[in-house]
Chain A
Amino acid sequence: MTTNNEPLAQTPLNDLHVRLGARMVPFAGYAMPVQYPTGIIAEHQWTRESAGLFDVSHMGQVTLTGAGIDKALEKLVPGDILGLGLNKLRYTQLLDETGGILDDLMVTRRESDLFLVVNAGNKAADIAHMKRHLGDGSVTYHGARALLALQGPKAAAVLGKLAPDAAKLAFMTAGAMKIDGIEAWVSRSGYTGEDGFEIAVAAKDATTLASMLLADPAVKPIGLGARDSLRLEAGLPLHGHDIDTTTSPIEAGLAFSIAKRRREEGGFPGAARIQRELKDGPARKLVGLRPEGRAPVRDGTEIRDASGRAVGKVTSGGFGPSAGGPVALGYVEAALAAPDTKLILELRGKPVGAVVTKLPFVAKRYAKT
């Protein structure tokens, strides 16, 4: 965590954000744009309707190298890394010994390494953890790289004009390509529920690339505020809120990310607990909640059953511009996790009804190529 005395780090796009009129806020030790002058709702809707450009350079870009590094990484994550094909992405989690989630991340197999993108707030701890288990020489942090995300239904048309190969990428695949001469590593992935790309470039090229993308009338800059409302509507968990070391991937509804081989073989931290939860079901589950009325319900709000008994807590909550009202994620006892279950939220001392809702709140629209 950053204190007020520590200077904030800046991403390579800092001057561009300021020039665009962004409100900069401290986030994970960086000065980051929370919104631009149009505001979070307009930015959110623009991303759902057109294409939004996000600076996610604060996230950690890490490469793992060495013989058998895929097998070695499987000792730290429950995802199938051995079976990950060339230039394919996999979503997985770094787990602690109890099966709690240290961080969630994307892993891409490239010709000469594994390319990882980890959360900004955890990157120092993640790197230390991986160095401890995989060896110092196997783990390289690429702090001087930038990461941009272009998200939305028009993202492929926009990026395809500059880099035709990008538009040919299937969902959750990646490749090296030039974007108008700039060397980039491009993946078809994101954190909004929309089609889109994440683009890693050298820091020196970041502003040129961002300006080039923003020159397209379909593209507008989008801040962290809308990034949060977009991911919340898409039902995507945020580490530090919806998932952390007190939650397992099974409780968090992330069983999809654990392949059959890994479930059977185990061999990752907390395997016994995760195998038990897969077999018997977890004691609690992360669910979507639609509060009645219009008041957003925030992280930490108590969840009660119809009789008033405390059954869990909200872990993320806010206003969903596309959902047209408040939306939330939270953990409840497994018996109360079925869609349409009626629950009660304690909002500023007053009870507010809420209904368990199947996730995502807003349908995902990933590329189907």
Chain B
Amino acid sequence: MSDTYYTEDHEWIRVEGDTGTIGITTYAQGQLGDIVFVELPDVGKSLDAGDEAAVIDSVKAAAEVYAPVAGEVVEANDAVVEKPGLVNEDAMGDGWFFKIKIADATELENLMDEDAYKTFVEGLG
């Protein structure tokens, strides 16, 4: 059983048990354009919801990835560090950024589900 939630900053978090896998959405990678650099948090780092967790550079500009909910980083996706273009190719899959052990599952209630996120993106025109 897994559920995916979304933030207004275009992060997604896929929840399996108490682990959350975090990345940026297909919409976000499209807005950023070709991604050329990704910096991920160290394993073991504690993040609060909204903390700056990772940095992405596209050809055009730098952007930050924020932690959707609080937790401790348990894994970082070295593949996107090696090949940042993975985020453009498969933002919702192989282009994931890092995994956290979710501290408080009730924080997920502050996030959007897929339908709400779709509506949110459409509203951005």
Cα A229 to Cα B61 in complex, Å, equals 12
Cα A321 to Cα B33 in complex, Å, equals 14
Q: Is the CB–CB distance between B39 and A295 below 8 Å? A: yes
Q: Is the CB–CB distance between B33 and A319 below 8 Å? A: no
Residue-wise, chain A 272-308 has the 8 Å CB interface mask toward B (1 for contact) of 0000000000000000000000111010000000000
Judged by a CB distance under 8 angstroms, whether A47 is at the interface is no
Q: Is the CB–CB distance between B39 and A318 below 8 Å? A: no
Judged by a CB distance under 8 angstroms, whether B55 is at the interface is yes
Q: Is the CB–CB distance between B39 and A35 below 8 Å? A: no
* Neighbouring B residues of A326 by C-beta, 8 Å: 37
Residue-wise, chain A 21-63 has the 8 Å CB interface mask toward B (1 for contact) of 0000000000000110001111000000000000000000000
CB distance from A305 to the nearest CB of B (A): 25
CB distance from A108 to the nearest CB of B (A): 32
Cα A348 to Cα B57 in complex, Å, equals 12
Cα A42 to Cα B61 in complex, Å, equals 17
Q: Is the CB–CB distance between A294 and B37 below 8 Å? A: yes
Judged by a CB distance under 8 angstroms, whether A353 is at the interface is no
The size bracket of the interface on B is: 10 to 19
Q: Is the CB–CB distance between A296 and B33 below 8 Å? A: no
A-B contact count (CB 8 A): 40
Judged by a CB distance under 8 angstroms, whether A175 is at the interface is no
Cα A304 to Cα B88 in complex, Å, equals 34
Cα A295 to Cα B58 in complex, Å, equals 10
Cα A229 to Cα B33 in complex, Å, equals 14
Judged by a CB distance under 8 angstroms, whether A225 is at the interface is yes
Contact of A319 among B36, B39, B55, B88 (CB under 8 A): B36
* Neighbouring B residues of A229 by C-beta, 8 Å: 59
Q: Is the CB–CB distance between B59 and A318 below 8 Å? A: yes
Cα A39 to Cα B31 in complex, Å, equals 11
Judged by a CB distance under 8 angstroms, whether B34 is at the interface is yes
Q: Is the CB–CB distance between B36 and A225 below 8 Å? A: no
Judged by a CB distance under 8 angstroms, whether B116 is at the interface is no
Q: Is the CB–CB distance between A295 and B59 below 8 Å? A: no
Q: Is the CB–CB distance between A296 and B62 below 8 Å? A: yes
Query: Taking A295-B39, A348-B55 as contacts, is the C-beta distance between A39 and B60 under 8 angstroms?
Result: no
Cα A39 to Cα B55 in complex, Å, equals 20
Q: Is the CB–CB distance between B37 and A296 below 8 Å? A: yes
Q: Is the CB–CB distance between A35 and B33 below 8 Å? A: yes
* Neighbouring A residues of B36 by C-beta, 8 Å: 41, 294, 296, 319
* Neighbouring A residues of B57 by C-beta, 8 Å: 295-296, 319
CB distance from B2 to the nearest CB of A (A): 30
* Neighbouring B residues of A318 by C-beta, 8 Å: 59-60
Q: Is the CB–CB distance between B37 and A295 below 8 Å? A: yes
Q: Is the CB–CB distance between A40 and B34 below 8 Å? A: yes
Q: Is the CB–CB distance between B37 and A40 below 8 Å? A: no
Cα A119 to Cα B55 in complex, Å, equals 33
CB distance from B1 to the nearest CB of A (A): 36
Query: Taking A34-B60, A348-B55 as contacts, is the C-beta distance between A39 and B37 under 8 angstroms?
Result: no
Residue-wise, chain A 326-346 has the 8 Å CB interface mask toward B (1 for contact) of 100000000000000000000
Interface residues of B in 23-81 (CB under 8 A from A): 33-34, 36-37, 39, 55, 57, 59-62
Residue of B33, B59, B62 most packed against chain A (CB within 10 A): B59
* Neighbouring A residues of B39 by C-beta, 8 Å: 295
* Neighbouring B residues of A42 by C-beta, 8 Å: 34
Question: Taking beta carbons and an 8 Å cutoff, which residues of B are in contact with A?
Answer: 33-34, 36-37, 39, 55, 57, 59-62, 88
Write 12 A-B pairs (CB below 8 A) sorted by A numbering.
A39-B33, A40-B34, A41-B36, A294-B36, A295-B39, A295-B55, A296-B37, A298-B61, A298-B62, A318-B59, A319-B37, A348-B55
Q: 10 nearest interchain CB pairs?
A: A319-B36, A40-B59, A41-B34, A39-B34, A295-B37, A296-B57, A294-B37, A40-B34, A319-B59, A40-B33
